Amino acid sequence: MTHLMFQRCVHLIFLIAILLFLPAFGQYVRQEKFASEQDRRARYELDDWISHSTSHSFSSATIGTHYLYIATKDGGILRYHILENYWDFPFTTSSGLPSNTVLDVYYDPETGFLWAITPNDISIFQPASKEWINKSETPGWPYDLPERDTSGTQPANSDQINRGVFFNREALLNLPTFFANGSFSILSDWRLSDDNTFDEYLMVGYIRDRFDRIWFLVDGFGIGQGDMFSQRADFYRIGLPDISPRAIEFQGDDLWIGGVGDRSGVSGIALWPFNSAEWEYFQAKRIPRLPSDNVFSMLADGDSIWFASDFGVSLFDYGDLNWKNYSTREGMASN
């Protein structure tokens, strides 16, 4: 079994748990209570519970020995293995963080600790024991946040972009001109424009890794990966849309997730392709023959997949990318 196949099996177990314990928002959070984080660790390993949330709001980023870590305000800490080039499971409350709202993240090369700053706590991840230690649960907190390179808060020219340092939005102006691949454009004020929908998203910062890749953090959207030499970048969504999940379905190795939108964020039916880091969203407001993207059940049938919604049943043929909808107008007893 490959690493990706194993990851998907673990993710499927978690997603089944979504259906058993439906929350009022887009992430399942373990409801069992423990006296302390130490008690939780005695029962669960780091990756026994894996949570995936929206991950659309970004705070900062840091780079360790093997991983790029991205702090989000809604989905914990995203992790990308920079040597083997794959997204590993994120660090969230399910793995020991005190909150999925992470205001800052920093890797200390001297100790190997990963620091996470949340609204009401400070935490470190110890790689040897593979556990999060929270200050609120540790009497006589023995750790001091190390001094760090703060050049990311100052403008820099392209020759001064230190590797492993997070640069905020102000420093975007000193990057060379980048061009986006696919159906995206980078505007002069460092906003990402979707040429298909005309939506625009704010870039909030970037970090340069040891391979001279530039990782862009794009609020409301996802991640960009650029190359300093070609000055081109790929952009892709990551994480769930703003839905409360109600149904999951495999179509081959690809995973579909449907649910009910919260009316205030980005709704849609999510597709997580097996061979891609990018999540795809199918939204009713963008698809004429999809009257509703509130989904309660799904069924895959070859290249086709059926969606039970609050406006009848919709059919998507993944082979020819064609949508159809069946409602009371086609003879159904009810929508």
| 67 within domain boundaries | yes
Same domain membership, residue 275 and residue 208:
no
More confident of the two residues 298 and 320: 298
Of 237, 268, 299, which residue is a domain's last? 237
| 15 within domain boundaries | no
In sequence order, what are the residues at sequence separation of 6 or more whose Cβ sits closer than 8 angstroms to the Cβ of residue 158? Answer: 174, 175, 176
Res. 116 pLDDT band, cuts 50 70 90: very high
| 251 within domain boundaries | yes
Burial of 169 (0-12, 13-18, 19+ CB in 10 A): middle
| 32 within domain boundaries | yes
Same domain membership, residue 316 and residue 221:
no
**Phi/psi of residue 7, each to 5°?**
-60, -45
pTM over 0.85: no
pLDDT value at 29 more than 80: no
pLDDT value at 58 more than 90: yes
Q: Are strands 179-180 and 232-237 parallel, antiparallel or unpaired?
A: parallel
Determine the average pLDDT of the residues in 208-227.
Answer: 96
Q: Is the dihedral of CA 160, 163, 168, 174 positive or negative?
A: positive
pLDDT recorded at residue 22: 41
pLDDT value at 157 more than 70: no
| 3 within domain boundaries | no
Instruction: Choose among 299, 323, 298, 329: nearest CA to 311.
Output: 329
Please work out, in degrees rounded to the nearest 5, the angle formed at the alpha carbon of residue 272 by the alpha carbons of 271 and 276: 130
More confident of the two residues 217 and 87: 217
pLDDT recorded at residue 33: 52
Same domain membership, residue 214 and residue 270:
no
| 250 within domain boundaries | yes
Same domain membership, residue 301 and residue 221:
no
Same domain membership, residue 252 and residue 220:
no
Of 136, 171, 196, which residue is a domain's last? 136
Could you please report the per-residue DSSP string of 50-81?
Answer: --------EEEEEE-SSEEEEEESSS-EEEEE
In sequence order, what are the residues at sequence separation of 6 or more whose Cβ sits closer than 8 angstroms to the Cβ of residue 327? Answer: 291, 311, 312, 313, 335
Same domain membership, residue 95 and residue 70:
yes
CA distances from 224 to 59, 170, 186, 220, 221 (A): 15, 17, 11, 12, 10
Q: How many domains are contained in the chain? A: 3
Same domain membership, residue 320 and residue 259:
yes
Res. 31 pLDDT band, cuts 50 70 90: very low
What CATH number corresponds to the domain at position 306?
A: 2.40.10
Tell me the per-residue pLDDT of 227-285, one tens digit each, with 9 for 90 and over.
Answer: 999 999 999 998 888 888 899 999 999 999 999 987 777 889 999 888 887 899 999 99
What CATH number corresponds to the domain at position 77?
A: 2.130.10.10
Question: What percent of the chain clears pLDDT 70, i.e. is strictly above it?
Answer: 80
Amino acid at the residue 87? W
Same domain membership, residue 130 and residue 82:
yes
| 8 within domain boundaries | no
Res. 18 pLDDT band, cuts 50 70 90: very low
Of 136, 170, 185, which residue is a domain's last? 136
Q: Are 80 and 106 in contact (CB under 8 A)?
A: no
pLDDT recorded at residue 53: 78
pLDDT recorded at residue 277: 78
Query: What is the residue range of 286's domain?
Result: 243-330
More confident of the two residues 32 and 185: 185
Res. 27 pLDDT band, cuts 50 70 90: very low
| 17 within domain boundaries | no
Determine the average pLDDT of the residues in 22-42.
Answer: 48
Lowest mean pLDDT among 58-62, 108-112, 160-164, 283-287: 160-164
The pair of structure tokens assigned to 331 is 């003879």
Instruction: Choose among 91, 26, 92, 101: nearest CA to 57.
Output: 101
